[in-house]
């Protein structure tokens, strides 16, 4: 018998390749064993995906340090974890569009909006639905750059900070999607409020991650937070201004659209 992955010659009785570690598949693919494989990989308690989520919540330094230091069998690697997040995000956006379309409709939240504001709201909605995954991808290197600046005296380089945020931002996205769907199912009016609370949670969680990862004292963490906040807001304002300029250049919105309605 030959391993289908690495082509290594194997004894008949073994269940895993002694060369690459892959499971030996003897049966033809059916719907039953397809779903059994999916359940084994993503649903059972002992699988890497669930263990990655649990450990990121409890001891995030174990997942992040393990990958960076070369121990990469215990947890899902950051690219795969991010890819799973993007896949689930696609289903999440589909569900929001189909069943909870008014939850993100800013026009229903604020009355007497100008034409310009309505066009901006429509553009934001379209961007969230069409380019949400791209936006999430671009945020990670942006946050990693700020993180490198703030933690310039620590052991991680820029690429390693990207790995850190691939894990943490994917986890935040997965938690946000799960909680948001529960909230939307109960009462759509709480959606925006819960979303704001979750962003506060994201900030606190990242403080927790950096404290454990770099073994910071409470005083050291507080100093890093004071360093992070102005850098983040300066970068955020710069990106917002650039985005606003590009929006007015490439969209059909003009300043006249913001004139008050008669």
Q: What is the mean pLDDT of residues 57-70?
A: 91
Q: Is residue 50 situated within a structural domain?
A: no
Comparing CA positions, the residue from 253, 235, 231, 22 lying closest to residue 118 is 253
Which of 68-82, 206-220, 241-255 has the lowest average pLDDT? Answer: 241-255
Specify the number of domains making up the chain.
1
Q: What is the rounded CA–CA span in Å between residue 153 and residue 75?
A: 27
**Direct distance between the N- and C-terminal alpha carbons of the chain, in angstroms, rounded to an integer:** 81
Q: Is residue 241 situated within a structural domain?
A: yes
Q: Is residue 216 situated within a structural domain?
A: yes
CA neighbours within 13 Å on the CB side: how many for 85?
27
Asked if residue 132 has pLDDT above 80, the reply is no
pLDDT, tens digit (0-9, with 9 covering 90-100), for 194-224: 888 998 999 999 999 999 999 999 999 999 9
Asked if residue 53 has pLDDT above 90, the reply is yes
**Burial of 67: CB neighbours in 10 Å, binned 0-12, 13-18, 19+:** buried
Q: Is residue 201 situated within a structural domain?
A: yes
Q: What is the mean pLDDT of residues 120-128?
A: 58
Q: Is residue 46 situated within a structural domain?
A: no
Q: Is residue 63 situated within a structural domain?
A: no
Which of 14-28, 50-64, 71-85, 181-195 has the lowest average pLDDT? Answer: 14-28
pLDDT confidence of residue 121: 57
More confident position, 259 or 59: 59
Q: Let me know: does 8 contact 20? Beta carbons within 8 Å.
A: yes
Asked if residue 45 has pLDDT above 50, the reply is no
Q: What is the mean pLDDT of residues 83-87?
A: 89
The DSSP bridge partners found for residue 72 are none
pLDDT, tens digit (0-9, with 9 covering 90-100), for 100-118: 766 665 555 555 555 555 5
Instruction: Please state the φ and ψ torsions of residue 156, each to the nearest 5 degrees.
Output: -90, 140
Q: Which residue has the tokens 């791209």?
A: 134
Q: What is the mean pLDDT of residues 32-56?
A: 73
SS3 9: strand
With a pLDDT cut of 90, the percent of the chain lying above it is 30
Q: What is the mean pLDDT of residues 88-98?
A: 84
Cβ neighbors of 43 (< 8 A, separation 6 or more) are: 50
Q: Is residue 191 situated within a structural domain?
A: yes
Q: Is residue 53 situated within a structural domain?
A: no
**Band of the pLDDT at 34, cuts 50, 70, 90?**
confident
Q: What is the mean pLDDT of residues 222-250?
A: 81
pLDDT confidence of residue 101: 66
Q: Of the ranges 146-155, 236-245, 248-257, which is most confident? A: 146-155
Range of the structural domain that residue 185 is part of: 77-258
Which helix (H) or strand (E) is 7 found in, with range? none
Length of the chain: 262
Which of 118-127, 160-169, 240-249 has the lowest average pLDDT? Answer: 118-127
Number of neighbours of residue 82 by Cβ within 10 angstroms: 22
Q: What is the rounded CA–CA span in Å between residue 45 and residue 66?
A: 20
**Burial of 113: CB neighbours in 10 Å, binned 0-12, 13-18, 19+:** middle
């Amino acid at each position: 018998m030959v391993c289908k992955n690495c082509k290594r010659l194997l004894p008949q009785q073994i269940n895993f390749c002694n060369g690459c570690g892959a499971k030996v598949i003897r049966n033809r693919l059916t719907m039953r064993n397809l779903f059994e494989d999916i359940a084994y990989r993503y649903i059972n308690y002992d699988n890497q995906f669930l263990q990655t989520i649990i450990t990121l919540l409890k001891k995030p330094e174990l997942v992040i340090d393990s990958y960076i230091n070369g121990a990469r069998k215990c947890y899902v690697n950051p690219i795969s974890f991010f890819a799973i997040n993007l896949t689930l995000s696609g289903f999440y956006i589909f569900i929001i569009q189909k069943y909870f379309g008014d939850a993100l409709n800013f026009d229903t939240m604020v009355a007497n909006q100008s034409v310009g504001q309505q066009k901006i709201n429509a553009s934001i909605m379209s961007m969230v639905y069409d380019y949400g995954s791209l936006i999430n991808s671009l945020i990670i290197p942006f946050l990693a750059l700020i993180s490198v600046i703030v933690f310039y005296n620590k052991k991680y380089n820029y690429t390693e900070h990207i790995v850190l945020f691939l894990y943490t931002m994917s986890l935040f996205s997965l938690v946000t999607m799960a909680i948001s769907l529960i909230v939307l199912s109960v009462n759509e009016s709480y959606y925006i409020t819960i979303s704001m609370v979750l962003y506060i949670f994201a900030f606190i969680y990242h403080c927790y991650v950096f404290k454990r990862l770099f073994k910071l004292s409470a005083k050291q963490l507080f100093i890093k937070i004071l360093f992070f906040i102005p850098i983040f807001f300066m970068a955020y304002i710069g990106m917002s201004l650039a985005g606003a300029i590009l929006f007015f250049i490439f969209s059909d919105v003009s300043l006249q659209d913001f004139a008050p309605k008669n």
